[in-house]
Amino acid sequence: MQEELELRLMEKSEGEPIWKALVRPEDMMLSVSSAQMAKEEHFIDQHREQLIQRVRHVDGVLDKLYKSVLNDEQYQTIRAERTDPQKMRKLYDLLPSWDWACKDQLYQVLEDKQKFLIEDLKGT
């Protein structure tokens, strides 16, 4: 983007400008549209297989997601699974209904509770 953008607020009755602003290209920030964001794969989606196999102590992760991302029924259903990989698979069953913010919350919890695993996956 190379052109400047001039914005004006005009008085209705007299047509005189009551406010002007010049927006330079360096003043503008490009935003990512939701369509573009949908094309990008979230870290949680990119590393599905590894997270299912390697996350341990899933109950602690579920506790952090309870109420903010998981409702009571989802929480109880996942906790009923016997092994950590089974719990993670059940959690991933819910992912298609999650937005980017829900996946961000899961990522933050994993980064907090499974720091070394997340660092390892970031390196791959």
pLDDT per residue as tens digits for the range 96-115: 999 999 999 999 999 999 99
pTM: 0.68
Alpha-carbon gap, residue 90 to 64, rounded angstroms:
16
Q: What letter represents residue 94's amino acid?
A: L
The CATH number of domain 41-122 is 3.40.50.300: no
Calculated CA dihedral for residues 66, 55, 104, 73, nearest 10 degrees: -30
pLDDT per residue as tens digits for the range 27-70: 766 555 555 555 689 999 999 999 999 999 999 999 999 999 99
Domain residue ranges of the chain, discontinuous segments joined by +: 1-30, 41-122
Which residue matches tokens 């997601």? Answer: 65
